C-alpha cells in the first residue's frame, strides 16, 4: 500500500510514547518518500537561546542580541551535532543549502543562514534545531498503523508563535481532539 507523503505535516506523539524520546513531541516532517522520512521536533528546547548559540559558535560577538530569539530545539536523536534552521519565507534568500518546503516554510542547513540571523536579509521567524528524527523505509508507515502518531498539515503559527510548552496541545486541538481524551492504550478496533 502506497501512502501519501507527509511532507509539510506534523506528527503528534500519542501518549503511548510518553516513556520515549518523543514524549509529547510535535515533529515537522520535511522529507517523506518511499525511502523513509526525516523531520524536526519543534517543541523540545535544549535550554539555550538562539543568540547564545550563535555567540558560542563565534558567529556573533559577545554583545549580540536577537529581537526574535527562540529556544534552540532538540530536533531528534539522529546526528545531534548537525544543525537545521526551519524558517519562514518572508525574505528572498540565497543561502547555500535551502529547500523550499511550502509557500510558508523552508529549511536551510548551511552555516550562512546562521551568520545572517538578526540582519536585514534574515528570515523574520525561525527555529534552530540540533539533530533530526529519521525513519527508514516503511518504518513511519508501520508506526502510523500502530497508532503511535497523529498527523495533521503543519501550521507555521504553531511552530513560530505558540508557547512551546503548549505546542503539543495546540497541534492536537488543530485536529479537533481534546488532548485530555487521548489514551495511553494503542490498538485498532
Average pLDDT over residues 8-18: 94
pLDDT tens readout for residues 52-110? 999 999 999 999 999 999 999 999 999 999 999 999 998 777 788 999 999 999 999 99
Give the CATH number, domain containing residue 154: 3.40.1740.10
List the domain range (segments joined by +) for residue 34: 9-179
185 inside domain? no
| Cα–Cα separations (whole angstroms), residue 152 to 22, 139, 158, 181 | 17, 18, 12, 17
121 inside domain? yes
Q: Does residue 151 register a pLDDT over 60?
A: yes
**Burial of 153 per CB tally in 10 Å (0-12, 13-18, 19+):** exposed
Query: How many domains are there within the chain?
Result: 1
pLDDT of residue 184: 66
Whole-angstrom distance between the N-terminal and C-terminal Cα of the chain? Answer: 20
189 inside domain? no
4 inside domain? no
The pTM score is 0.92
32 inside domain? yes
1 inside domain? no
pLDDT of residue 90: 82
Half-sphere exposure of 107 (CA within 13 A, CB side): 19
56 inside domain? yes
Amino acid at each position: 500500500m502506497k501512502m501519501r507523503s507527509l511532507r509539510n505535516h506534523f506528527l503528534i506523539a500519542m501518549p503511548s510514547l510518553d516513556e520515549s524520546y518523543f514524549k509529547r513531541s510535535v515533529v515537522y516532517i520535511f522529507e517523506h518518500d518511499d525511502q523513509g522520512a526525516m523531520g524536526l521536533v519543534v517543541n523540545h528546547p535544549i535550554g539555550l537561546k538562539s543568540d547564545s548559540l550563535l555567540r558560542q559558535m563565534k558567529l556573533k560577538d559577545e554583545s549580540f542580541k536577537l529581537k526574535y530569539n527562540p529556544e534552540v530545539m532538540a530536533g531528534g536523536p539522529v546526528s545531534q551535532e548537525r544543525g537545521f534552521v526551519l524558517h519562514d519565507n518572508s525574505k528572498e534568500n540565497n543561502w547555500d543549502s535551502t529547500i523550499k518546503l511550502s509557500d510558508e516554510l523552508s529549511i536551510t542547513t548551511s552555516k550562512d543562514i546562521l551568520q545572517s540571523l538578526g540582519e536585514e536579509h534574515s528570515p523574520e521567524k525561525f527555529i534552530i534545531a540540533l539533530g533530526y528524527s529519521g525513519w527508514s523505509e516503511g518504518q513511519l508507515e508501520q508506526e502510523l498503523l500502530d497508532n503511535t502518531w497523529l498527523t495533521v498539515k503543519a501550521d507555521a503559527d504553531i511552530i513560530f508563535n505558540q508557547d512551546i510548552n503548549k505546542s503539543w496541545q495546540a497541534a492536537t486541538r488543530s485536529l479537533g481532539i481534546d488532548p485530555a481524551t487521548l489514551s495511553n492504550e494503542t490498538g485498532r478496533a
